Amino acid sequence: MTADTPSMPAAARPQGRYDTTTIVLHWLTAVLVVVMFALPQIWQQFERRTPPRLWLIDLHFSLGITLAGLLLVRILWRAALGGRLPQVGPGPARVASRIVHLAFYILLPAQVTLGVLLRWAQQQPLPYFGLFVIPDPFAMPLDARTVLGLLHEWNAWVIIVLSGGHAAAALLHHYVLRDGLLLRMTPKR
């Protein structure tokens, strides 16, 4: 893909590309996070206990279970790949990148965990696309709903704000710094 960018100075072209698996895992995670954040905004437009609202809630939880599996695969893939991932720029850019990625690796599993605990505190099993349900093995108390709900919502907002900053930084690198960073996370053509 770097050959398709003749206006980019040779020194600014991507140093190394991410492998296809890392790229796919990144974009699947991004899409799931955005969709899962949007679903509660949408279901709040429907009356409580109506079929559309219940369907959107079940979809949210099914996607949450999918995200949990995807995060596990990402963590295992990252551990297996180790230091072979391309590095991001020098000094401050590299430090900022590491901090942001570490934050994602903490916040996303925390979000899934909070969502599961919240569902169980609501005395509801976790549905997975109508295929099966995961019952509450702990008998979560009902009075935990409020705290878990607030933590789940606040954490979601932190993830979305951090994701927006992450996307803005990628666009800055691409359009202003023109260093080819964004191209490293796109599939080869």
Summarised one tens digit per residue, pLDDT across range 93-142 is 888 888 999 999 999 999 999 999 999 999 998 999 999 999 998 888 88
Position 7 in a domain: no
Per-residue pLDDT at 5: 41
Q: Is the pLDDT of residue 76 over 50?
A: yes
Position 2 in a domain: no
Q: d(Cα 124, Cα 127) in Å, to the nearest integer?
A: 9
Position 46 in a domain: yes
Model-level pTM greater than 0.95?
A: no
Position 51 in a domain: yes
Could you tell me which of 188, 189, 181 has the C-alpha nearest to residue 19? 188
| Domain enclosing residue 91, as ranges | 18-185
Position 4 in a domain: no
Evaluate whether 19 touches 81 at the Cβ level (below 8 Å): yes
Position 113 in a domain: yes
Radius of gyration of the chain (CA): 19
Position 10 in a domain: no
Would you state the torsion angle of the CA atoms of residues 127, 133, 139, 144, taken in this order, to the nearest 10 degrees? Answer: -10
Evaluate whether 89 touches 41 at the Cβ level (below 8 Å): no
For the chain, the residue count is 189
Evaluate whether 101 touches 86 at the Cβ level (below 8 Å): no
Position 171 in a domain: yes
Phi, psi of 184 (to 5 degrees): -70, -25
Q: Is 9 exposed, middle or buried (0-12, 13-18, 19+ CB in 10 A)?
A: exposed
* CATH number where 31 lies: 1.20.950.20
Q: For 18-53, what is each residue's pLDDT tens digit?
A: 888 889 999 999 999 999 999 999 999 999 999 999
Residue whose entry in the numeric block shows the structure tokens 């551990």 = 79
Least confident span in 8-22, 58-72, 139-153: 8-22
In total, how many domains does the chain have? 1
